[in-house]
Structure formats: structure tokens, C-alpha cells
Amino acid sequence: MPNTIRIVIADDHQLFRQGLKSLLLSEPEVSIVGETDRTDNLLDLLSRAPCDLLLLDLQMERNALADIETLAERVPVLVLTASEVPADAVAALRKGARAVVFKRFAVEDLMHAIRTVASGSVWLPATLHTHVAEQLRKPAMSALSPREEAVVRYIALGLRNAEVAHALSISVETVKTHLNSIFRKLGVRDRVELALYAQRAGIGERRE
């Protein structure tokens, strides 16, 4: 986890955004490097204000779900949402969000989620974790080849495909091929379920 977690806030509710800033600025490990009330300038803002984490309100001037996939290629995305419908949160996760925090519980959950994502892991509310985890099957890791096991461990640590490829000295396309095989063998459907599987199995935990 970085010593200082640089955060950009994207939320179109001014009072909520100001409350978030007050909460976060009381934490010595956090630095707010940018904020916006729109989604259409986010990529430009991220270019001007490099950060470690984007706090993104899912319901802004338009639904931000369509933007998550592009944004998640640039920076880890933590979604804030007033909706507690599991399908909405899961949709955000499938687009690449690393965490979902329900606004009703933001004060209690937000810093825990921020620290978890900053350390390279996935964070979910307990109710959502249960909803997603119930969809997982648990075949043995022994079904994987040594190279596939290595890919799982890197994914569990939060690495993107290009970073996994560099770490293993293979191409990004080879990483994708390994992931498709892993999904099939472990009975998971995507990177989110794979990260949850790895968490539950204690795979990829960082060592001091």
C-alpha cells in the first residue's frame, strides 16, 4: 500500500462530495488531488492529476457504468452508489471496479475499502460478497498448471494483464489465454469472481 493514497473524487452531489473530502482529509494517509462533478472530463482530470484511486459516484449526470471499463484501465476505481441492488454493484465490478461502497454506509466502510483497494485487493460490502460468493464453485487449485497458478496469484494481488505479462515474461494475449483456461477450470466467470475465489482461498496475500 502506498504511504500516501492520492484520490480523485467524482460525485455530482456537492454536499456529499464536501462531506467525503472532510472525512478523507482527516486521514493522514490520504491526499485529495482532484475532484469533479461530471464524467465527461474524468480522463482529462486523471491525466492532469495522477492518483492511486478514483472514487466514482455511479449515478451522476448520467450513469457512469459505461465509463468504468475505460477508467479502470487508468486507475483503480472505487464505486460509490446509493443503489443497494446487488445486480447494479455486480455490473460495476464486472466492468472493472475494484470496490463498491453503499453511500448509506460510506462513513463506516469507506476507509476500509480505500485501504483494501490501495493494497491491490477487491473490497465488497458483506451482503454483496455473499451474493457474489454464492455463485462461485470451488474446484481444487490442483486443476491448474504451475503457470496458471502464477497468473491467479498475480491477479489476486491486483495486477492488470499487462503487468502480469511483464512479471511472467509472456505476452498479454498469453495471459488472456491462461485466464480463459483458469475461468473454465475454477468455474468462475471473470476477474472479479477469480479475485474473490483467491481471497477466500488465501491466495496471493501480501507478505510483510
Domains annotated on the chain, with CATH: 5-133 (3.40.50.2300), 141-200 (1.10.10.10)
What does the pLDDT average to over 107-118? Answer: 88
Grid cell listed for 151:
497468473
DSSP type of residue 59: B
Share of the chain above pLDDT 70, in %: 88
Q: What confidence tier does 136 reach under pLDDT thresholds 50, 70, 90? A: very low
0.75 surpassed by pTM: no
**Cβ pair 35, 6 in contact under 8 A:** no
Sign of the torsion formed by the C-alpha atoms of 98, 100, 103 and 105: negative
Sign of the torsion formed by the C-alpha atoms of 56, 61, 63 and 69: negative
At 197, which amino acid appears? Y
Residue 182 CB burial class (10 angstroms; 0-12, 13-18, ≥19):
buried
**Cβ pair 150, 168 in contact under 8 A:** yes
* Residue 58 pLDDT > 60: yes
What does the pLDDT average to over 34-60? Answer: 90
* Residue 64 pLDDT > 80: no
